[in-house]
Amino acid sequence: TAMPRNIFVPPERRLYLVDIENLAATGRPSGQDVVEARRDLEARRGIEMNDQVVIGCNPANAVTVAQNWPGARYVIRGGENGADLALLDVIANESVPLRFSQVTIASGDAIFADAITYLSTAGCHVSVVARNASVSPRLISSWNFARVWGKSNASPAQARGSCTSSGAGITL
């Protein structure tokens, strides 16, 4: 059964967990890479002013990320899977299911599969945004719905409209 929800959670409170190196498809994203990833995510998912965006990154990328994606929260960790582990710490330690009704994980890394299952079981509507070349097969089986970036001729509004919570789907 789903975890009891806090009565004060607005039904549309959304959290975006962004693995910027994965989303930008490089371990050393430039300022332009960060801006493009932000614009793509904002256009495809309709990020609004009251949504919370948390970006995980390597310490070497922190300044570039902060300068080019203002207004987000940054979690920083070095080493292998550092950004992923920093984002997983947010899920594990910050009562995410009690605070957010919707969670979008912007990464194709398999390390998020168990967290997606946990969040879904706890009552969150979970979505995944990933690039075609970086989505893990293990992750594919873990989400409510997904957006895979790549060869899409749909406008952002059409792409948003094509996603529903009833079953898994990939918009290409």
Specify the DSSP class assigned to residue 57: E
Position 99: which residue type? R
Burial 55-79 (b: 16+ CB within 10 A, else e): bbbbeebeebbbebbeebebbbbee
The stretches of the chain forming alpha helices (DSSP H) are: 20-23, 31-45, 62-68, 82-93, 96-99, 113-121, 137-140, 156-161
- Give the global pTM: 0.79
Across 25-51, average pLDDT: 92
| The pLDDT value given to residue 150 | 52
Average pLDDT, integer, range 66-70: 97
pLDDT tens for each residue of 82-123:
999 999 999 999 999 999 999 999 998 999 999 998 998 998
Q: Does 2 or 59 have the greater pLDDT score?
A: 59
Question: 10 Å Cβ neighbour count for 7?
Answer: 5
Instruction: Kindly report the three-state secondary structure assignment for every residue of 4-19.
Output: CCCCCCCCCCEEEEEE
Q: Of residues 102 and 152, which shows the higher confidence score?
A: 102
Q: Which of 92, 78, 90, 88 is nearest to 109 (CA)?
A: 88
3-class state of residue 74 by DSSP: strand
